Amino acid sequence: MCGIVSEYLIPTSSSHPEGIAAGPDGALWFTEFFGNKIGRITTTGSITETPAHSAPGEIAAGPDGALWFTEVSGDKIGRITTGGTITETTIPTSGSGPQGIVAGPDGALWFTECMGNKIGRITTAGTITEKTIPTAGSHPVGIAAGPDGALWFAECSGNKIGRVTTGGTFTETTIPTANSDPLGIAVGADGALWFGEDHGNNIGRIGLGNAITETAVPTAAAEPEAIAAGPDGALWFTEFFGNKIGRITTGGTISETTVPTAGAELVWIATGADGALWFTEFGANKIGRVQ
């Protein structure tokens, strides 16, 4: 992968794309936070959009062949088929502010409630259960399914990485850098969990034994946000203010690629079926691709 960036303008102006995920149809699916739509982009750059509701946030492919997404201001979990049919399920906790979402090892979808301070679980039939995080006011954001069969999540205000079993047992590990503001989290090729520290300006790594190491991002005040495992065995991450896509090897070596559009405000990132990394440009209203 040589760091060539392509960008695609979203038809809806000021849509502010946020989440992005690879779909079962070979396309990338993304959320339009202010556009209130779910977008779909093929690997050749063709975009279509479907009206949604309530500030859609993050999105993930489900085990049922549909895409599932969080509705940040609507306290709902949405589901969209590859044919464009949307259904919604209301979260029991009012003002929950759902954020991250991921398919779990148990066939359900797991999500974070940033304002509700809970981890939620929704079955593909639409049944929701919730578990309260031990640390009050932790503001969980990103969530990932770990290789140990548990769910791992980033506590933005709690400054911790949390882990919850499918049975609901929590453990939490404090990040060495104070007020690091962890956001996105993903499983690496080495079996560890890797995360972006927005204010700490680090990429963190936590092993299954809960030991954390951190690597500073070369660009000052870059604000690394989301992170995803690439097909090359490295982790790729977005730099919200650095305006770059970063790459970190499991050995801790970081390289960076500048995005052509200045002030793009890069948010989420995912690996596509074409082997490239695709990302959302919240400020530039574009979908980016780097390979």
Q: What is the dihedral of CA 12, 74, 62, 248, to 10 degrees?
A: 70
pLDDT greater than 70 at residue 226:
yes
Cα distance between residue 78 and residue 139, in whole Å: 21
Q: Is residue 34 very low, low, confident or very high in pLDDT (cuts 50, 70, 90)? A: very high
Q: Which CATH architecture has domain 5-290?
A: 7 Propeller (2.130)
Q: What is the mean pLDDT of residues 212-228?
A: 99
For residue 287, give every residue at least 6 positions away whose Cβ sits within 8 Å of its Cβ, in sequence order, or none: 7, 8, 10, 17, 20, 28, 30, 39, 41, 47, 278, 279, 280, 281
Prediction pTM value: 0.97
**Domains of the chain: which residue ranges?**
5-290
78 strand-pairing partners: 69, 88
Cα distance between residue 41 and residue 30, in whole Å: 8
Interval 2-15: pLDDT, tens? 689 999 999 999 99
Interval 232-285: pLDDT, tens? 999 999 999 999 999 999 999 999 999 999 999 999 999 999 999 999 999 999
CB atoms within 10 A of CB 106: 15
- Least Cα distance to 62 among 34, 25, 90, 32 occurs for 25
Kindly state the tokens that stand for 115: 């304002």
| pLDDT over 70 percentage in the chain | 99
pLDDT greater than 70 at residue 19:
yes
Amino acid at residue number 112: T
Q: What is the mean pLDDT of the chain?
A: 98
Q: How far apart, in Å, are the Cα atoms of 237 and each of 91, 242, 269?
A: 30, 11, 7
Q: What is the mean pLDDT of residues 104-124?
A: 99
pLDDT greater than 70 at residue 38:
yes
Q: Is residue 225 very low, low, confident or very high in pLDDT (cuts 50, 70, 90)? A: very high
